[in-house]
Amino acid sequence: MSVLVGRKAPEFNAGAVINGEEIIENFSLEQYKGNSYVIFFFYPKDFTFVCPTELHAFQARLAEFESKGCKIVACSTDTEESHWGWLQMPKNNGGIQGITYPIVADTAKTISTNYGVLAGEYDYNENNELIATGPMIAYRGLFLIDKEGTVRHQLVNDLPLGRNVDEAMRMLDSLIHLDTHGEVCPANWTEGKEAMNATFDGVADYLSKN
């Protein structure tokens, strides 16, 4: 599994569902470069159990993320038709109806591979036949990408472990504070709290007050 922090986010063009209903063929994160932060997150599979709780949790905070100049984009290894079908299913039936941010279809599994979150690998058996050594679906990877297209934060959870949207928001706030004020954000920092200068004097001053 690769560490992408500090590196350009891998580029891709893939099918996706946007606005909860429209299937498009060539979705790319490049459209956001120079204008928006992006939280790009992977989930394992459509029509499952933990996944809809995460998708709805991001939707519930979507307006807040967008007010801070951040786009939310989801991705799994299912097809765009599968995404579309799940989007038609009501929330009280386990569906994701009401999700409006883009959901990318990584059917070739190249996006999840390039982001280092594919659970499983391809190998050959004794008969030289190609086999999969795992489920070949995405772990719960999350990547915070800055306006220049560089990954500034990543988090990868195992399949059964749902993510914390509050933490995703906290990391976005931290990056915005750094970009706006040039101050670094100490442990457990949240928006509105004191940050500090990245100097020994700055650290000493912060620690003396906390």
> Strand, helix or coil at 103?
strand
Contact 55, 43 (CB under 8 A): yes
Which one, of 29, 100, 32, lies nearest residue 63 by Cα?
100
In the block, tokens 């394992």 appear at: 44
Contact 22, 15 (CB under 8 A): no
Annotated active-site residue 51? The verdict is yes
Catalytic residue, chosen from 51, 70, 75, 185, is 51
Give the type of residue at 52: P
Contact 76, 106 (CB under 8 A): yes
Catalytic residues: 51
